[in-house]
Amino acid sequence: MSRIGKQPVAIPSGVEARLAGNEIFVKGPKGELKQALVPGITVEIQAETKEIVVTRNNETSYHRSLHGLYQRLITNMVKGVTEGYQKTLKVQGTGYRAELKGKDLVLQVGFANAVTVTCPQGIEIEVPKAVSREEMDVIVKGIDKQLVGETAARIRSVRKCDPYKAKGVRYADEHVRRLEGKTFGTA
């Protein structure tokens, strides 16, 4: 049996979980999330122990691979509606800026025109004051872990960090491997 899949998911106080057909709904102080379930994966909500238990109906490799996945998805849903998720990005480079216009993020990262990234529903973007003249932070927050990561990856893909000058957009905990530039010798 899956080591991750057999672990029950604890339901903290203030969080409600319910099943409706082949979907599970988790509602908490920050919002509500839902996840569709595939046939062969069974989810039980045990009210007396306040736990969600995920089991699989057969031992095919397909269902074994989904067992731990759905346990983690439900765990992420419970954590999302109680605490939420956030990713921090760094915009680094001379003249590189990020600003909010309504709910959209406008990036000026060395292109002729500014690039606008639209914020999906359920995601909040913050741009605090600049750390220095050449570095700014962009914070992506939300309750859906997948949507937060996807939005942060879309923002990062506008201008990935350059390995020569380390200019561009990168995650706050990302290490950029610096490359040595070309050297010109005398002939």
User: What confidence score (pLDDT) does residue 109 get?
Assistant: 92
Phi/psi of residue 70, nearest 5 degrees:
-70, -30
pTM for the full predicted model:
0.87
User: What confidence score (pLDDT) does residue 132 get?
Assistant: 74
User: What confidence score (pLDDT) does residue 73 get?
Assistant: 95
The Cα–Cα gap between 62 and 106 comes to: 42
Please provide the CATH number assigned to the domain covering 9-82.
3.90.930.12
CA separation, residue 132 to residues 1, 45, 61, 97, 129 (Å): 51, 50, 52, 11, 9
Per-residue pLDDT of the chain (187 residues; tens, 9 = 90+): 568 888 999 999 999 999 998 999 999 999 999 999 999 999 999 989 999 999 999 888 889 889 999 999 999 999 999 999 999 999 998 889 999 999 999 999 999 999 999 999 999 999 998 777 778 899 999 999 999 999 999 999 999 998 998 899 999 998 888 888 877 766 5
Answer yes or no: same fold for 9-82 and 85-171. yes
The Cα–Cα gap between 173 and 86 comes to: 13
User: What confidence score (pLDDT) does residue 130 get?
Assistant: 73
CA dihedral 123, 82, 86, 120 (to 10 degrees): -10
User: What confidence score (pLDDT) does residue 187 get?
Assistant: 56
Q: Return contacts of 178-182, CB within 8 angstroms, 24+ apart.
A: none
Query: What are the residue ranges spanned by the domains of the chain?
Result: 9-82, 85-171
User: What confidence score (pLDDT) does residue 3 get?
Assistant: 83
User: What confidence score (pLDDT) does residue 186 get?
Assistant: 65
Please provide the CATH number assigned to the domain covering 85-171.
3.90.930.12
